């Protein structure tokens, strides 16, 4: 199933630039959710797919006692194919499909056709990841929710810890051994952690019980230890696995001092990376968003083994329904958000998502999409395709001129200079 480049891209960019002058930035307010509203669109996907997560293991996995000498993960070879092009999207529980293949198989093809080399999805086992890589070897940054189940909420039992450790250790070991030399980086994480921490979406809660706090700290650190132990036991090169924590309500702590994952859990972990599901700030000014990102960093313990920015935007998005299903306005508003996040110290920016996964009360799609339910590429799809095409050309030309690849800051600065952004 092939999806060609849009030959009218130049016309689209011209229309989008004209629209940026006709519609003032303040029009965001008319399409935004009401202040204080809570985005919970991924919860249904988690509830649907968590039941399929790995079953408890019968044996405890012990790390190998002898370790082989291996390259420093920081020495991973950067190429044009595995370069971090920053912009990406996701494949979760779509409302529609256009083939008889698996959702991940179909959506990942749309993602690579758009020019992206990254995808985020719910992985139930290693086979799901193996199948993805076999079909789409051009994907070099793989984000996987794995065992995203808040078993810690009533205390994290030794059996629960053992099962999680076994699963993470085995998966990490498999990925490193199987994909050594491929240039792929894997990011293992979970769904929006503050909803787990709050046991729901009631953001009026000021303090959280110590049982939940301590349980989540142990849950995150146990997952991290399994990844670290497997990396210490395996010989590998040009592949890596990172573990991430996802938070989604740092503004409650930033503005009101409430107990949240950012200030109560994160500082007591040894996590590699932090994903920020950033719906609580996406309508804010760029200056305020930068302060919130800095606030997250202030609670993130240092980790010398991880180079570059350690926070990324794991989710955000303005649905088409909030823009009256005006395609160009939907593109414009989301591009404004992309632009604000690009100006921050973040590693990736992942839009929610390629195919819509939410429905309105009448059963129609809410419009978290890049390809709509009529199999049409949206204006936002074409804008991201254009950004990724130009970004890849910039990286290629930079390498030909300098014999090295641009830094992440140089690349992001280039993207921000493009007239595609309003």
Give CA–CA dist 214/196, Å, rounded: 13
Residue 29 has pLDDT above 50, yes or no: no
Report pLDDT digits (tens) over 332-390.
999 999 999 999 999 999 999 999 999 999 999 999 999 999 999 999 999 999 999 99
DSSP state, residue 371: B
Report pLDDT digits (tens) over 162-178.
999 999 999 999 999 99
Mean pLDDT of all residues in 205-225:
98
CA distances from 76 to 60, 142, 240 (A): 31, 16, 8
Question: Is the model's pTM score more than 0.85?
Answer: yes
199 dihedral zone (left: phi>0; alpha: psi -120 to 50; beta): left
Closest of 167, 212, 171, 176 to residue 194, by C-alpha: 212
Give CA–CA dist 415/420, Å, rounded: 9
Residue 231 has pLDDT above 50, yes or no: yes
Which architecture does CATH list for 9-417?
A: Alpha-Beta Barrel (3.20)
Residue 14 has pLDDT above 50, yes or no: no
**pLDDT at residue number 76:** 84
Specify which residues 74 forms β-bridges with: none
Report pLDDT digits (tens) over 49-89.
444 444 444 444 554 434 334 445 546 899 999 999 999 99
Mean pLDDT of all residues in 237-265:
98
CB atoms within 10 A of CB 159: 10
Domain range annotation of the chain: 9-417
Task: Calculate what percentage of the chain has a pLDDT beyond 70.
Answer: 82
CA distances from 3 to 33, 52, 115, 203, 419 (A): 33, 31, 11, 42, 25
What H or E segment, with its residue span, contains residue 122? strand 118-122
CA dihedral 136, 142, 147, 152 (to 10 degrees): -170
Task: Calculate what percentage of the chain has a pLDDT beyond 90.
Answer: 82
What's the chain's average pLDDT?
A: 88
């Amino acid at each position: 199933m092939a999806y060609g480049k849009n030959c009218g891209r130049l016309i689209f960019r011209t229309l989008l630039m004209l629209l940026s002058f006709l519609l003032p930035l303040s029009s965001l307010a008319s399409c935004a959710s009401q202040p204080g509203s809570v985005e919970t669109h991924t919860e249904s996907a988690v509830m649907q797919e968590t039941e399929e997560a790995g079953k408890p293991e019968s044996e405890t996995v012990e790390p190998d006692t002898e370790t082989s000498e291996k390259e420093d993960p920081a020495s991973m070879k950067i190429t044009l194919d595995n370069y971090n092009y920053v912009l990406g999207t996701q494949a979760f529980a779509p409302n529609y499909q256009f083939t008889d293949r698996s959702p991940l198989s179909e959506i990942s093809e749309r993602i690579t056709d758009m020019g992206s080399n990254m995808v985020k999805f719910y992985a139930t086992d290693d086979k799901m990841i193996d199948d993805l890589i076999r079909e789409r070897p051009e994907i070099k940054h793989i984000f996987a929710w794995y065992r995203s189940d808040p078993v810690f909420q009533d205390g994290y039992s030794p059996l629960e810890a053992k099962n999680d450790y076994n699963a993470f250790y085995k998966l990490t070991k498999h990925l490193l051994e199987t994909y050594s030399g491929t240039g792929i980086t894997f990011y293992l994480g979970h769904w929006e952690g503050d909803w787990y921490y709050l046991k729901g979406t009631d953001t009026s809660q000021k303090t959280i019980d110590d049982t939940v706090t301590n349980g989540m700290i142990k849950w995150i650190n146990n997952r991290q230890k399994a990844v670290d132990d497997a990396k210490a036991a395996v010989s590998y090169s040009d592949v890596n696995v990172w573990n991430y924590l996802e938070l989604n309500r740092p503004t409650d702590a930033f503005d009101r001092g409430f107990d949240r994952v950012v200030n109560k859990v994160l500082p007591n972990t040894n996590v590699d990376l932090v994903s920020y599901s950033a719906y609580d700030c996406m309508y804010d000014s760029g200056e305020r968003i930068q302060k919130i990102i800095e606030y997250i960093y202030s609670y993130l313990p240092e980790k010398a083994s991880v180079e570059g920015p350690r926070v990324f935007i794991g989710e955000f998005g303005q649905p088409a329904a909030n823009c009256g299903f005006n395609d160009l306005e939907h593109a414009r508003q989301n591009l404004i958000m992309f632009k604000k996040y690009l100006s921050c110290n973040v590693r990736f920016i992942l839009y929610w998502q390629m195919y819509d996964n939410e429905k309105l009360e009448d059963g129609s799609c809410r419009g978290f999409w890049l390809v709509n339910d009529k199999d049409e590429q949206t204006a936002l799809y074409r804008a991201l395709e254009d950004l990724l095409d130009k970004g890849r050309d910039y990286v290629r030309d930079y390498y030909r001129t300098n014999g090295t690849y641009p830094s992440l800051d140089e690349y992001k600065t280039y993207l921000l200079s493009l007239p595609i952004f309003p």
